C-alpha cells in the first residue's frame, strides 16, 4: 500500500478529515488520494492535486488565525466558560469586554489581556498571532440557553454563540423500569382508516398500550415526504425534518368536513368508494393512490376556510404565524409540484429562493398550509391526551432520521450549510461489501457552526415538542459521517469529523426545554469515544438482542444464562429493530435465505449462517427449558422468555415489537433494497379492534408488566 503524501494528510487533519479508519473486520482502510482531494475541495480547500496541499494548509491556518472567536462556545452548566481568543501581536488590546446578551439586559464582563494565559496554537504562526485562554465565571442570571456573546476590543466587535447547557440530557425522576410497544403508524390496521394507519390510530394504540400498563409507544419517523412523483415512502428519506406527514391525517376527523358538502359528496361517490376499497383491502399500502384520495378531500376542505367559523379561521392564522418557515415550505412544495423536477434543475431565480406568486398554484400552496395545520392538530391531540391521562396513555417515542432527500425543502432552504455534491453512507461490511450510499447530503461542519446550528435546533425542537422520547438515528453521526463524493463508489468514501460537544449541548438544551429523553442508535461500527460521550451526556443506548447474540460462544456459556450479556441500566432494550427480521423469521432463518436470494452471500456463507443460527436456537431453547421449566419450549415460549428476561433486567425501557407477539414473519424493511422489496408498505395482519381478543398477546404483555414491577 502506497503511503499518503504527508502534506495531504496534514491538510486533511486541518479540515477534520480522517485519512484512515478501522473497518468491521479489524482491517485498517486508507482513503484514496482522489476521494481525499474531492472531499477537501467540498470543504473549501483550493486543492485539486497533492502539489497544492502545502499552500492550502497555509491558507487554512491563516484563515483560522484571523478568526478572533470560535463561532460557537459550549459551556456546561456549573463550569466556567473557557475558550481562546486569537489576535495579531501588533493589535493586542490592554483590556477585553465580553457581553452576554440575555433577556432582561446585557451582562458585561471585563478582563485584562496581559493577565490571560498564553497558549500555543497549532493553526497560527506564533510570531504573528497571540492566542490566549479566556476563563469566565458564568453569572447566575445567565440561565441555560443559546446566548449571543460579543467581544469588544480595539473598537471592534466579534460575535459568537454561547451554548450554556446542562451536561446531561433530560431524564425523568427514577420511577422503576418502564416498558412499551413498537409499531409503525402506516402499518396500523383498523376498521376506520383508509388503508394505512393515521394519527387517530396512533392515539388509540397509545391508549390501548397504556391500558396494558405500558408507558411508551415507539414508532418510525412521521415526517412529510414526496408521495406523488417522485414517490418515496421511506420514513428515513423525508422531504423535510421540520414538518409532519399529511399522509397520516384522519380525514374523517377533520372539523371542516362537517361543513363541506362537496367533500362529503366526493367521499360518498361510487368512484371514490371503489378506490377506497382497493386501498383498504390491499396487503401492501399504495401510497400514491391513498395520498391522492386524501388530498382530493383536503383540498376541498382548505378551500372552505374562508367560510368557516371565525374561531377556526383565527386558529389557522395563528398556526401559520407561529410556525417558523411554514409559508416558505408550502410555497416550495407548490413550486416543486409545478416544476416536477428537483430544485437544482430549476431556473436560477427559483434555485436561489426568489419564489413569486406566479411560480406556483395558489391552491397547492394553501393545501400544504392547511394539511400541516391539520396534521399538527391531530398529532398534538395524541401528545396532549397522553400527558393529561398520566400513565393511562402511552407517551410517544419518535425517531429522528439522519438526513433528508437531496431534493428536500431543508436542503434548498439551507443550501449554505449542506454539501450537495456528496452523499452520506457507510463503508463496506460483511453484508454490503461495496459499502452503502444512503443518498442524502451531509451538513458542512464549518458552515453549520457559523449558522449557530439554527436548522439543527429547529428540527430537534420540533421533534421534542411532539414526543417524550426521541431516538437519534446513527448517533455516531454527531461525531463523524462517511462522505461519498459524487462520482465515487461507496467503498471509496472518507470520514469527516463534526464538533460532537456542540451537538450534545443542543440535545441537552432542547431535551430539558421540552422534557424529552434522548436515545442514541449506536448499533454497527461505533468509533472510540461515542459510547463514553453518550454516557457522559445521559443519552440512552440501544440494546438489541439480535445484535447482541454471541453465536460463537455457545460452548462455554452457562446454560442457565442466555447467550448475551445483560443490558445496561441506561439502555432501551428490544429483540429487534425495524431493519431486522421479525423474531419468527429470525428463528426460522428466513432472513438468511432472503439474503442469499439477493446475492448478498454465497452458498457457503448461507450454510455457515444457518449453522450459527441453529446453535443459537439450541442455546435459547435449552436456556428457556432450564429457567422457565418448560419441557419442550416452542418458538413462542422462547420469545416470551426473552421478553420476560429483558423485563427483569435493569434496562430503563423495554420496547416490545407488537407484531412479534402474533408471529409475524414479514419485515418492515430490508436494508440495501428499495424496489426489490416492498419496504415500508406492509400492513399489520391484526387490527386495533382485534387486540383485546388476542389472548396470547395479552398474556405476554401481562408477563412483561409483572416483571417490570
| Residues 109-124 pLDDT 10s | 999 998 998 888 777 6
| Residues 586-622 pLDDT 10s | 999 999 999 999 888 899 999 999 999 999 999 999 9
SS3 345: helix
Contact 147, 623 (CB under 8 A): no
In DSSP terms, which residues pair with 653 in a beta bridge?
178, 572
* Section 671-687 average pLDDT: 91
Angle at 325 between CA 320 and CA 331, to 5 degrees: 85
- Cα distance between residue 554 and residue 666, in whole Å: 28
CB within 8 Å of 73: residues ≥ 6 apart: 81, 83, 149, 160, 161, 162, 163
Grid coordinates given for 443: 451538513
Per cent of the chain over pLDDT 70 is 97
Q: Which CATH architecture fits 78-165?
A: Sandwich (2.60)
**Is 173 a residue whose pLDDT tops 80?**
no
Q: Which residues of 451-474 are buried (b: 16+ CB within 10 A; e: fewer)?
A: bbbebbbbbbbbbbebbbbbbbeb
Q: What is the residue extent of each domain of the chain?
A: 6-64, 78-165, 230-377
Q: Supply φ then ψ for residue 175, to 5 degrees.
A: -145, 35
pTM over 0.85: yes
Q: How far is CA 634 from the centre of its chain?
A: 37
**Is 431 a residue whose pLDDT tops 90?**
no
Q: Show the beta-strand stretches assigned E in 225-380.
A: none
- Cα distance between residue 666 and residue 679, in whole Å: 10
Sheet of 156-165, strand order:
72-76, 156-165, 145-153, 95-102, 105-112
Lowest model confidence (mean pLDDT) among 280-294, 312-326, 545-559? 545-559
Grid coordinates given for 200: 387517530
Q: Which residues of 552-576 are buried (b: 16+ CB within 10 A; e: fewer)?
A: eebeeeeeeebbbebbbebbbbbbb
Amino acid at each position: 500500500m502506497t503511503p499518503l503524501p504527508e502534506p495531504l494528510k496534514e491538510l486533511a487533519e486541518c479540515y477534520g478529515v480522517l485519512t484512515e479508519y478501522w473497518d468491521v473486520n479489524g482491517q485498517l482502510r486508507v482513503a484514496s488520494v482522489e476521494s481525499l482531494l474531492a472531499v477537501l475541495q467540498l470543504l473549501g480547500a483550493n486543492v485539486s492535486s497533492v502539489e497544492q496541499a502545502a499552500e492550502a494548509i497555509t491558507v487554512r491556518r491563516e484563515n483560522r488565525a484571523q478568526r478572533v472567536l470560535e463561532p460557537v462556545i459550549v459551556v456546561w452548566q456549573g463550569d466556567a466558560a473557557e475558550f481562546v481568543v486569537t489576535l495579531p501581536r501588533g493589535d493586542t488590546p490592554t483590556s477585553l469586554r465580553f457581553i452576554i446578551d440575555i433577556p432582561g439586559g446585557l451582562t458585561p464582563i471585563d478582563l485584562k489581556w496581559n493577565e490571560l494565559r498564553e497558549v500555543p496554537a497549532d493553526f497560527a504562526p506564533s510570531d504573528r498571532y497571540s492566542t490566549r485562554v479566556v476563563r469566565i465565571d458564568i453569572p447566575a442570571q445567565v440561565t441555560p440557553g443559546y446566548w449571543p456573546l460579543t467581544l469588544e476590543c480595539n473598537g471592534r466587535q466579534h460575535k459568537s454563540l454561547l451554548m450554556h447547557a446542562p451536561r446531561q440530557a433530560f431524564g425523568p425522576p427514577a420511577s422503576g423500569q418502564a416498558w412499551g410497544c413498537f409499531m409503525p403508524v402506516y402499518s396500523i390496521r383498523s376498521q376506520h382508516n383508509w388503508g394505512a394507519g393515521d394519527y387517530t390510530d396512533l392515539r388509540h394504540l397509545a391508549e390501548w398500550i397504556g391500558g396494558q400498563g405500558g408507558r411508551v409507544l415507539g414508532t418510525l419517523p412521521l415526517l412529510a415526504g414526496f408521495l406523488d412523483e417522485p414517490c418515496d415512502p421511506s420514513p428515513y428519506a423525508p422531504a423535510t425534518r421540520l414538518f409532519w406527514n399529511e399522509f397520516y391525517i384522519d380525514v374523517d376527523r377533520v372539523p371542516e368536513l362537517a361543513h363541506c358538502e362537496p367533500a362529503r359528496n366526493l367521499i360518498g361517490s361510487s368512484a371514490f368508494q371503489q378506490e377506497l376499497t382497493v386501498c383498504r383491502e390491499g396487503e401492501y399500502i399504495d401510497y400514491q393512490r391513498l395520498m391522492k384520495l386524501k388530498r382530493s378531500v383536503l383540498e376541498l376542505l382548505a378551500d372552505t376556510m374562508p367560510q368557516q367559523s371565525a374561531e377556526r379561521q383565527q386558529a389557522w392564522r395563528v398556526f401559520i404565524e407561529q410556525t417558523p418557515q411554514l409559508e416558505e415550505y408550502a410555497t416550495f412544495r407548490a413550486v416543486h409540484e409545478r416544476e416536477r423536477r428537483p430544485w437544482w434543475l430549476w431556473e436560477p431565480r427559483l434555485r436561489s429562493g426568489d419564489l413569486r406568486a406566479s411560480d406556483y398554484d395558489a391552491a397547492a400552496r394553501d393545501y400544504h398550509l392547511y394539511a400541516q395545520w391539520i396534521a399538527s392538530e391531530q398529532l398534538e391531540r395524541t401528545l396532549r391526551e397522553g400527558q393529561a391521562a398520566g400513565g393511562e396513555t402511552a407517551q410517544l417515542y419518535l425517531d429522528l432520521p439522519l438526513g433528508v432527500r437531496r431534493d428536500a425543502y431543508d436542503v434548498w432552504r439551507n443550501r449554505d450549510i449542506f454539501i450537495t455534491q456528496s452523499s452520506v453512507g457507510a463503508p463496506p461490511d460483511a453484508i454490503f461489501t461495496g459499502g452503502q450510499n444512503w443518498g442524502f447530503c451531509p451538513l458542512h461542519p464549518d458552515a453549520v457552526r457559523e449558522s449557530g446550528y439554527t436548522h439543527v435546533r429547529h428540527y430537534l425542537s420540533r421533534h421534542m415538542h411532539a414526543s417524550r422520547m426521541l431516538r437519534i438515528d446513527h448517533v455516531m453521526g454527531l461525531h463523524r459521517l462517511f462522505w461519498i463524493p459524487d462520482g465515487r463508489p461507496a467503498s471509496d468514501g472518507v470520514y469527516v469529523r463534526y464538533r460532537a460537544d456542540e451537538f450534545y449541548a443542543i440535545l441537552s438544551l432542547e431535551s430539558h426545554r421540552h422534557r424529552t429523553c434522548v436515545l442514541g442508535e449506536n448499533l454497527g461500527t461505533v468509533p472510540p469515544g461515542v459510547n463514553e460521550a453518550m454516557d457522559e451526556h445521559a443519552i440512552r443506548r440501544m440494546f438489541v438482542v439480535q445484535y447482541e447474540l454471541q453465536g460463537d460462544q455457545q460452548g462455554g456459556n452457562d446454560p442457565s444464562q442466555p447467550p448475551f450479556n445483560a443490558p445496561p441500566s441506561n439502555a432501551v432494550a428490544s429483540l429487534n429493530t425495524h431493519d431486522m427480521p421479525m423474531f419468527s423469521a429470525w428463528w426460522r432463518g428466513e432472513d438468511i435465505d432472503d439474503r442469499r436470494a439477493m446475492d448478498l452471500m454465497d452458498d457457503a456463507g448461507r450454510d455457515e449462517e444457518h449453522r450459527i443460527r441453529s446453535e443459537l436456537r439450541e442455546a435459547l431453547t435449552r436456556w428457556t427449558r432450564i429457567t422457565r421449566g418448560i419441557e419442550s419450549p416452542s418458538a413462542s415460549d422462547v420469545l416470551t422468555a426473552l421478553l420476560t428476561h429483558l423485563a427483569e433486567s435493569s434496562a430503563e425501557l423495554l420496547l416490545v415489537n407488537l407484531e412479534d407477539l402474533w408471529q409475524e414473519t414479514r419485515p418492515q424493511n430490508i436494508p440495501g433494497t428499495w424496489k426489490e422489496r416492498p419496504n415500508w408498505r406492509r400492513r399489520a395482519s391484526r387490527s386495533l379492534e382485534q387486540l383485546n381478543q388476542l389472548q396470547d398477546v395479552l398474556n405476554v404483555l401481562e408477563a412483561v408488566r409483572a416483571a417490570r414491577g
